[in-house]
Amino acid sequence: MKDIYSYSAFLLGILEGIENMKLYELYPLTAIVGQEDMKLALILNVINPSLGGVLIRGEKGTAKSTAVRALAEIIPPIPTEYEESSESLKVIDLPISATEDRVVGTIDVEHAIKTGEKKFESGILAEAHRNILYVDEINLLEDHIVDVLLDAAAMGVNVVEREGISYSHPARFILVGTMNPEEGDLRPQLLDRFALSVDVYGEKDVSLRMEVIKRRLQFEADPFSFIESYKNEQQQLRLTVLQARENLKAIKITDDLIEIAAKISILSEVEGHRSDITMIKTAMTIAAFENRIMVEVDDLRRAASLVLPHRLKRKPFENRTFDSTVIDSVLESYQIMK
């Protein structure tokens, strides 16, 4: 009997340890110092999942994965017409070693032939439905796997076909990829499929770096109290996102701003029309986030800085960077014309 009690206590200790570990990982999003563009890009995608995901590029130790997991804890899952939930988003990790079958799922062809019934074993895309699909070091993922992810993200449906047998299921998720550019980049065709991109760096301001250190030490010393101290800010952000989702249905934008978006894309020499459309949708989402109905010029400016940098055409070995003066010149001419 004593052994049973000891074993039960041992199991409870493990479970408590797991819960503590889970809590330990949940550094509050509102406690992250700086990295405003990264936080904004993530928030915009959970307000408007149809944007198409975000690629976060930057050096190690810049809170990339911390921000993704922190965001999930305070935001409800992606709403659908038939599915509502008051729970929080989940972060579904996709390892870079994952096979295509593990990602999209598999059809048991033998079972289908014998019984005439489809038997589908779901993959990571099914798990990610209405949640965040997170790929760390996405630049190291095989290109055909990235293609599958982006196709599913764009269509909201995962289609699996094997030996003439087809199966499909909903796959509406927010794709978040993080990477260190020093370890290689994605092909331009794949870069263009991400709605937004952000380059993150370590803080250069001494006072901000000090604040990063202090908050981290406080969190490690007493994660429970630290998380509790940001409870109100976290709740306010959640309510703001929920309100923004409602605002998005009524957002209006003028033809003048649509014309500006087109001119900015042309002068930036980006290919296709995806950048124009994404720029407008992003500007509308920014307005919704700030609890406004009309899109303003500054919304378009901020949207362009998130939409265009990773879409710039680069020649081999060319390190072309985004030039914000293009946006300023177009907006200045617009102001003059007004």
Q: Which residues are known catalytic residues?
A: 274
CA gap 252, 292 in Å, rounded = 9
- How many CB atoms neighbour CB 238 within 10 A? 15
**All residues at 6 or more sequence positions from 66 whose CB lies less than 8 Å from its CB, including other chains:** 27, 32
Q: Which residue has the tokens 């124009």?
A: 276
Q: Beta-strand (E) ranges in 10-131?
A: 54-58, 91-93, 106-107, 120-121
Q: Please provide the size of the chain in residues.
A: 338
**All residues at 6 or more sequence positions from 222 whose CB lies less than 8 Å from its CB, including other chains:** none
CA gap 148, 219 in Å, rounded = 38
Angle, nearest 10°, between helix axes 297-307 and 274-289? 130
Kindly report each contact of residues 123-126 with a partner whose C-beta sits within 8 Å and lies 24 or more positions away, as own/partner: 123/158, 124/92, 124/94, 124/98, 125/149, 125/152, 125/158, 125/171, 125/173, 126/158, 126/169, 126/171
Q: How far apart are the first and last CA of the chain?
A: 85
CA gap 120, 102 in Å, rounded = 12
Q: What are phi and psi of 98, to 5 degrees?
A: -65, 140
Retrieve residue 110's tokens. Answer: 């033998």
* Nearest of 144, 131, 158 to residue 186 by alpha carbon: 144
Q: Which residue has the tokens 């996405």?
A: 138
